[in-house]
Amino acid sequence: MLIMENEKVLTNSDLISYLLINNIGEDMKGMIRPKGKCSICQGAFVEIKKLGFICPEHKIVPKRFLIDLFYKGQRIRLFSDKQGQPLDTYQRALSLLTHINFELKNHIFDPLNYIKQELEKFYVTNLLDKFLDFKINKIAPSYKSDLKRHVRIAKNYFGAKDVREIKKLDIVNYKDYLEKKFQL
C-alpha cells in the first residue's frame, strides 16, 4: 500500500478518539453485555465503548456475550446469531446488534429468527426427518430404501442450514454435488 506524503495513517488512538467523539452507534436499541465474570477475581467486566469489555485488573476479556433488548414490551436476550453461532466476540455481537437495529428501523425484525429453539424448527435436517416420518409409510416398500438414502444425502449436504435461507444457487450447487458424487 502506497501512502502519499500528505496522507495521514490512522492509528489505534486516532480510531478510538474518532469513535468516542462521533458517538457512532449511540442511537442503537439494545445493549451488548458480557456473559460471566472475570475467571480470576470474579469481578465484573468494564465496558470500553465500541471496543469491548475487559477486566481492568487482569486484562481478561469475556468469552461470551449476549444482546439485551426490549421489543414490544418484552425483554429479549440473544446468545447467538441467526445461524446459531454463539456470540463469542464483541465484534460478532456488535455486528448482530447493528443488523437487528437495521431490521427494527425497517420494521422487519422478528425475534423468533434469533431464538435457537425457534430456529431449530427450520433446519433442513429436522424438516427432512419430519418429511421422512410422514412419507415413509405412504410409499411402496420397494422405494423406501431409496427415499431414506436420498434424505440422508440431503441431510449430509445441507446440515443445519435454515430452510428459509436456501436460495436457487444452493439448489444448483446441490445438483452439481449430486452429479459429481454419483456420476449422473
Render pLDDT for 66-78 as a digit per residue (tens, 0 to 9).
999 998 888 988 8
pLDDT attached to residue 1: 42
17 vs 144: CA distance, rounded Å: 65
pLDDT attached to residue 18: 56
Domain count, the chain: 2
- Regarding whether 94 and 30 lie in a shared domain, the answer is yes
- Regarding whether 77 and 39 lie in a shared domain, the answer is yes
User: What proportion of the chain, given as a percentage, has pLDDT over 70?
Assistant: 85
- Regarding whether 166 and 75 lie in a shared domain, the answer is no
- Regarding whether 129 and 102 lie in a shared domain, the answer is no
Count CA within 13 A, CB hemisphere, residue 82: 15
Residue ranges making up the domain that contains 90: 14-114
* Position 165 in a domain: yes
Residue 87 in 3-state DSSP? coil
- Regarding whether 135 and 106 lie in a shared domain, the answer is no
Residue-wise pLDDT for 31-56, tens only, equals 999 988 888 888 888 888 778 888 88
174 vs 51: CA distance, rounded Å: 40
Residue-wise pLDDT for 94-138, tens only, equals 999 999 999 999 999 888 777 777 778 888 999 999 999 999 999
Q: In whole angstroms, what separates CA 12 from the centre of its chain?
A: 27
pTM score, whole prediction: 0.57
45 vs 33: CA distance, rounded Å: 9
* Position 5 in a domain: no
- Regarding whether 138 and 110 lie in a shared domain, the answer is no
Residue 76 is given by DSSP the state E
- Regarding whether 87 and 19 lie in a shared domain, the answer is yes
Concatenated DSSP letters of 29-73 = SSEEEESS--TTT-PPPEEETTTEEE-TTT----S-EEEEEEETT
* Position 137 in a domain: yes
- Regarding whether 23 and 105 lie in a shared domain, the answer is yes
